[in-house]
Chain A
Amino acid sequence: LAKTTQPISMDSYEGQEVNITCSHNNIATNDYITWYQQFPSQGPRFIIQGYKTKVTNEVASLFIPADRKSSTLSLPRVSLSDTAVYYCLVGELQGGKLIFGQGTELSVKP
C-alpha cells in the first residue's frame, strides 16, 4: 500500500474553492486514488475515485498529474457543511487492507 501524506488541517471561507493535495510517491501501477469525507461521529463517506487525469462528479473534482505521485481533491464553492475530515487512500481495488491515515481537517468559516 502506498503511503500518503496530506496536510493536517486547512481553513477556508464559504464560497471559496478548496484544494486538498495528497502526496503518494510510491503509488503502484494498479493503484487507484480514493477520497472520503467524514463528519464527527459518523462513518466516512465516499467522495470520488480516480486513476489518472481528471475525474469530476456532482460534489468534487479529482486531479491526478501524469506521474500520479500526487492528487488534488477540489471542492468548488465550499459551504459551512463541508467542514469535515477528508481522507486520501491509495491502493489496488482488489486488495483487502485499507489505510486511512490522519486525514485533512477542513474548517469552513462564514
Chain B
Amino acid sequence: EAQVTQNPRYLITVTGKKLTVTCSQNMNHEYMSWYRQDPGLGLRQIYYSMNVEVTDKGDVPEGYKVSRKEKRNFPLILESPSPNQTSLYFCASSLRGRGTQHFGDGTRLSIL
C-alpha cells in the first residue's frame, strides 16, 4: 500500500532534549516536505526536499533541521526543542515538486 509513515505519532518531551521525527515513503517520490499546523495559523511549510541531498527552507524553518540522505526518508530534527514548537506535524511526498501531495497521519508533539 502506498503510504507516508511518520513516527512517533505522539510525543511528550521536555525543553532542550533533542528529538527526531521520522518520515518514510514507499512511492519512490522525489519530493518530500514537512509542515506544522497550529490553531488559527493553518498549515505552514517548514522544509522541503526536491530530491536526495537537496533541501530548502519553507516558511518557518527556525529551530528545525532536516536531511535527505536517501530517497525514501526525510527526518525532521529538533536539536533543542522549545515549548513554541508544540504542534501537529505532517510529512508529505509527491512524485515531483508541487504535484499531488500525499500526507502522513501526523505527529503530535508536546514540549514542556
Contacts and interface: CB of A to CB of B under 8 A. Distances in A.
Contacts of B58: 97-98
Interface residues of A, number: 26
Interface in A92-110: 92-103
A81 interface: no
A100 B44 contact: yes
Interface in B93-108: 96-106, 108
B103 A43 contact: yes
Q: Chain A binding site: helix, strand, loop or mixed by DSSP?
A: loop
A91 B45 CA distance: 14
B50 interface: yes
B102 to A, nearest CB: 8
A96 B97 contact: yes
Report which residue of B97, B98, B104, B108 has the largest number of chain A beta carbons within 10 angstroms of its beta carbon. Answer: B98
Interface in A62-110: 87, 89, 91-103
Contact of B42 (A45, A49, A91, A101): A101
Interface residues of B, number: 28
Contacts of A87: 42-43
A29 interface: no
Contacts of A95: 97-98
B74 interface: no
B43 A93 contact: no
A36 interface: yes
A34 interface: yes
User: What 8 A-B pairs have minimum CB-CB distances, sorted nearest first?
Assistant: A43-B103, A100-B43, A94-B97, A46-B100, A102-B42, A91-B98, A43-B90, A96-B48
Given A32-B98, A41-B106, A96-B50, 16 more contacts: A41-B108, A43-B4, A43-B90, A43-B104, A43-B105, A43-B106, A87-B42, A92-B97, A94-B96, A95-B97, A96-B31, A97-B45, A98-B98, A100-B45, A103-B42, A103-B43
